[in-house]
């Protein structure tokens, strides 16, 4: 999500600057517009397409992974609530899938996350949740980078986060005990093909992985 914000900021800057050329002749304006567009693309490519990532960029991507873990908790709260409209919950489930490297990721600590049985992958969790609902949602606390990103190959970095998971009952009347456990989640930084206008470019993006 950070790369999208960055592009939007660059576009806004471009629009402000190009507005100053309203009184100039069309040829000059077209030339300046083309130059801004080229600079915009070059800026995006420099930050998000570079094969070599600085330590500063890797740390920034780790912060993005932390934010996506919190997004996962927010989407699961919506997805797990059977009192909400099914289409709304289905959309939340799709958003959850988009956060993970695959819907086949393993939930090794499923008994530590949810009391419901019969699922050990994200795919099973989503199927079960849509049909039956889930009694509580995760609330990740004290999230830290336990293993920073390290390069696995030319297009992938791997690491993991540790956090305290608090299982919070969805319904306020539920008086069941709220349990807190320490968990670890794998994180990935992967270079994938993305659409940018009419062009397609390979950019870095962050994904969540197995929960242990």
pLDDT tens-place values along the chain, 212 residues long: 445 554 554 455 555 555 554 455 566 666 666 665 565 555 555 555 566 788 998 999 999 999 999 999 888 888 888 888 888 888 988 999 999 998 778 776 554 455 555 557 788 788 877 877 776 667 888 999 999 999 999 899 999 999 998 776 666 555 455 567 888 999 999 998 877 667 777 888 999 999 88
For 40-74, the DSSP string reads HHHHHHHHHS-SS--HHHHHHHHHHHHHHHHHHHH
**What is the per-residue pLDDT for 144?**
95
Residues in the chain, overall count? 212
**What is the per-residue pLDDT for 44?**
56
Strand partners, 160: 147, 186
55-211 has which fold? Nuclear Transport Factor 2; Chain: A, (3.10.450)
CA dihedral sign of residues 212, 95, 52, 62: negative
pTM of the model: 0.71
Q: Looking at residue 172, what DSSP letter applies?
A: T
Torsion angle in degrees (nearest 10) through CA of 67, 52, 194, 209: -40
For residue 204, the SS3 value is strand
Question: In what side-by-side order are the strands of the sheet with 156-169?
Answer: 136-153, 156-169, 180-196, 199-211
Q: Which of 108, 100, 111, 104 has its CA nearest to residue 69?
A: 100
Contacts of 151 (CB under 8 A, 6+ apart): 157
**What is the per-residue pLDDT for 201?**
79
């Amino acid at each position: 999500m950070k790369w999208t914000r960055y592009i939007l900021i660059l576009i806004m800057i471009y629009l402000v600057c190009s507005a100053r050329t309203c009184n100039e002749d069309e040829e000059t304006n077209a030339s300046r517009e083309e130059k801004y567009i080229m600079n915009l693309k070059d800026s995006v490519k420099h930050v998000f397409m570079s094969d070599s990532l600085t330590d500063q960029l890797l740390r920034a991507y780790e912060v993005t992974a932390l934010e996506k873990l919190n997004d996962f908790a927010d989407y699961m709260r919506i997805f797990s609530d059977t009192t909400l409209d099914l289409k709304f919950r289905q959309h939340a489930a799709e958003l959850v899938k988009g956060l993970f490297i695959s819907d086949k990721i393993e939930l090794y600590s499923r008994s530590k996350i949810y009391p419901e049985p019969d699922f050990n992958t994200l795919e099973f969790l989503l199927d079960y949740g849509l049909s039956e609902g889930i009694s509580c949602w995760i609330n990740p606390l004290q999230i830290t980078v336990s293993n920073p990103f390290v390069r696995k190959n030319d297009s992938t970095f791997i690491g993991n986060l540790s956090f305290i998971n608090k299982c919070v009952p969805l319904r306020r009347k539920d008086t069941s005990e709220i349990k807190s456990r320490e968990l670890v989640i794998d994180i990935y930084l992967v270079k994938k093909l993305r659409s940018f206008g009419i062009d397609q470019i390979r950019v870095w993006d962050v994904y969540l992985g197995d929960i242990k």
